[in-house]
Amino acid sequence: MWEGLGLQVFLMCLGAVLCSTVAASAPLEHSHRHRLSLHRHRERTGKEGQVLHRSKRGWVWNQFFVIEEYTGPDPVLVGRLHSDVDAGDGNCKYILSGEGAGTIFVIDDKTGNIHATKTLDREEQAQYTLTAQAVDRATNKPLEPPSEFIVKVQDINDNPPEFLHGPYYARVPEMSNVGTSVMQVTATDADDPTYGNSARLVYSILQGQPYFSVEPQTGIIRTALPNMDREARQEYDVVIQAKDMGGHMGGLSGTTEVKITLTDVNDNPPKFPQSVYAMSVSEDKVSGEEVGRLKAKDPDLGENGLVSYRFIEGDGMTVFEITTDTDTREGVIKLRKPVDFETKRAYTLRVEASNTHLDPRFIAWGPYKDTATVKVMVEDADEPPAFMATSYSFEVEENARDGTVVGRVHAKDTDVANNPVRYMIPRYTDVEQFFSVGPEDGIIKTTRPLDRETLPWHNISVSATEIGGHHQDTKVRVNIKVKDMNDNAPEFATQNEILVCENVSPGKVSLIIYNVYCTFSQVTFRKDRSLYSTASIYVTRRGFSRMTQDVYFLPIEINDNGIPPMSSTNTLTIRVCSCDSKDTILSCNVEPYILPAGLSTGALIAILACIVILLAIVVLFVALRRQKKEPLIVFEEEDIRENIITYDDEGGGEEDTEAFDIATLQNPDGANGFLPRKDIKPELQYPMRPGGHPVANSVDVDDFIKTRINDADNDPTAPPYDSIQIYGYEGRGSIAGSLSSLESVTTDSDLDYDYLQSWGPRFKKLADLYGTKDSADDNS
């Protein structure tokens, strides 16, 4: 059907095989001259002279090529279509359809030439699929079936390489070996990687030599110098270039920046800036206070730069201690115990600083430690006086005269000046001022006699203050014990009575008295002296009579063995009691013998029980009477509602409404709108409200009830609690007669109660009651 491409296309393909440069230029030269032809037969002579025949077919070439980014003044010729049925008389018309037909690609309907009217970009669309057909110009009828072909956009090197993820950041340890991989960078090229060298990239380093290098084919960045020291230089800015066309001249290129940071390793030992440090401490400093600081510098970072400090030698290793401040990495020297200027004035210490974390790769570079000497000078301070003892204990006899020497405290100034000391007793330790102290000699004396029984110990403090200087003082505890003297006469420990049975036998012990020393004589009782401060009371006669004497008062003289001896006379009370045969005390009271002989104890209990019961009944009766509440509203005696009225009027049945005047039941006082109050005293009488009350027989029940409710709500004299309002009014005139009889339901009445249904909800119950009965009768 269609003739293939010409000799130019054949030469272009051959040149692409022989040389890549010819292949790149040949399409530019001949792509616009493509042409398709249609023949019935084509003859080709072979090597042996024979004629080869090819059968007729339609489109013999199904694709065209067009160079991208063509910028010529005229539309570029893509190719030419020609049909065998086209006799050249203009009756054949060529039609083009498909992607870009009419916009990008146009066809001359007479000649079949196809032109590209716009610049094409392979990176946007690499090929277009079109359909060509030959039709009769007059009738538009197809002369041949349509054929599909492809227009491929031929790539040119029009896109430079790009680093899509730049700039890059990388880290590599310092002191790394040459060739250590840092990172890999990758560039992309939008050109066709299958055609020519447009997308074949080569990497090179533009900035960063001689420290780093890059592999041309992979883009891997590696270290190029050994022993790069972070402490000398930490960051490097490296520029990497990617160039297409295999890096040859004329290729496009792109660059990116890589910021490489050297990370730290422990490759530096700590170092003291100086070999000797001088410090000083005052002798008045207490344990734990800081003396000074020193620091060994280590340029490493993080844990690689951590330093620990310790004493390795010196005469102050027991007096001082050293710790590490983790925040500042300093060695802090502190007092372990106080120093004394007068005892030792200088100390020498040897301090070692070493790394806590070592890198095995660099141990050979060690040692990772350093030493320095610290000299600590002790400064003299104005110290308070010091007592010779930490506390004092003295004894003094009670009742000693004022001014008696108790003891002496001694303190001295430990400073070089050795100033005199003044003593005093702080008043808060001796509030009652039992003691005094000599301000210069420290002798403690009493100011009054002391009583051991009142206060056996006195705990005071004595203060010593340096005269001159800063008047510093110090205190010491003084404990003073008051020694006992025989200054209290003996006496009974308790004053209890002694109970003795009437029938006691002579010589029996009545009581043992403890904590006394007795010498006495008595007719009825006798004593028995004991060496252990006890005394026994014995009965010297047989039997006692409570009727004659029930209580005996026995004077007893008590003497002690003290120096000087002390004595006192105490009275012992002895009570005679009634006992049984086993000497068990029954009663020690005399009253039962005064009562009549015939009245026993059981009788007394019965009489008391009766009296209690009678009293309980009386109290209960009174309580019940008080619980009854009287009404708050006092009605007059003639109030008919408080009486029962009896009359012999039989009445005329349930329809008799005139037999008794219901108005009689109304409260006469209530008719005037006033009821007397019991709970308050009325101060004024309220006048009758305008309008008054309706006459009982002149209004309907509903109006009457509403009026009474309104009066009750607005009555200022009403009691301040809920009460029952009595309405003694039944109403007048009812065609149904009386509704008050309970037996009216069972009577055979011929009255019709259906009208009750129209009386409203107030009479609904009656309407249901009577209406139901009537309905039931009708149904039966």
pLDDT at 445 over 80: yes
Report the pLDDT value the prediction gives residue 725, as an integer from 0 to 100.
59
State the Cα angle at 58 between 39 and 93, rounded to 5°.
Answer: 85
Q: Quick one: pLDDT band at residue 728, thresholds 50, 70, 90?
A: low
Q: What integer pLDDT is reported at residue 532 of this predicted model?
A: 44
Whether residue 374 has pLDDT greater than 90 = yes
Residue 484 clears pLDDT 90, i.e. is over it: no
Taking the alpha carbons at both ends of the chain, their separation in whole angstroms is 116
Q: How far is CA 684 from CA 674, 688, 717, in A?
A: 11, 13, 10
Instruction: Indicate whether 558 pLDDT > 80.
Output: yes
Tell whether pTM > 0.85. Answer: no
DSSP states along 6-40: -HHHHHHHHHHHH-HHHHHHHHHHHGGG------S
Token pair belonging to 71: 């910028």
Q: What is the largest CA-CA distance in the chain?
A: 188
Helical segments of 388-515, H only: none
**pLDDT for position 31:** 35
pLDDT of residue 44 exceeding 70: no
Query: Distance between CA atoms of 443 and 458, rounded to whole angstroms?
Result: 16
Q: What span, in angstroms and rounded, lies between the C-alpha atoms of 284 and 315?
A: 20
| 484 to 55, 162, 195, 451, 452: CA distances (angstroms) | 155, 111, 126, 8, 6
Out of 196-210, 436-450, 508-522, pick the least confident.
508-522
Q: What angle do CA 748, 752, 758 make, to 5 degrees?
A: 140
700: nearest Cα among 728, 732, 725, 736 = 732
- Span 154-212, pLDDT tens digits: 777 888 999 999 899 999 999 999 999 999 999 998 887 877 788 889 999 999 999 99
Average pLDDT over residues 409-421: 84
- Mean pLDDT for all residues in the chain: 76
Mean pLDDT of 248-262: 92
Q: Which of 83-87, 272-276, 437-441, 725-729 has the lowest mean pLDDT?
A: 725-729
Distance from C-alpha of 56 to C-alpha of 39, rounded to nearest angstrom: 7
Share of the chain above pLDDT 90, in %: 31
How confident is the model over 126-149, as a mean pLDDT? 88
Highest mean pLDDT among 318-332, 462-476, 662-676, 742-756: 318-332
Q: Which letter does DSSP use for residue 297 in this model?
A: B
> Contact, 461 vs 429, CB < 8 A?
yes
Give the C-alpha separation, 197 to 247, whole Å. Answer: 9
Question: To 5 degrees, how large is the angle CA 638–CA 641–CA 644?
Answer: 90
Spatial separation of the C-alpha atoms in residues 412 and 421, rounded to whole Å: 6
**Residue 53 CA: distances (Å) to CA of 39, 42, 45:** 12, 6, 10
Q: What is the pLDDT of residue 416?
A: 74
Residue 63 has pLDDT above 50, yes or no: yes
Closest CA to 725 of 633, 636, 661, 628: 633
DSSP class of 188: B
User: Which string of DSSP letters, residue by residue, matches 233-278?
Assistant: --EEEEEEEEESGGG-TT--EEEEEEEEEEEP-S----B-S-SEEE
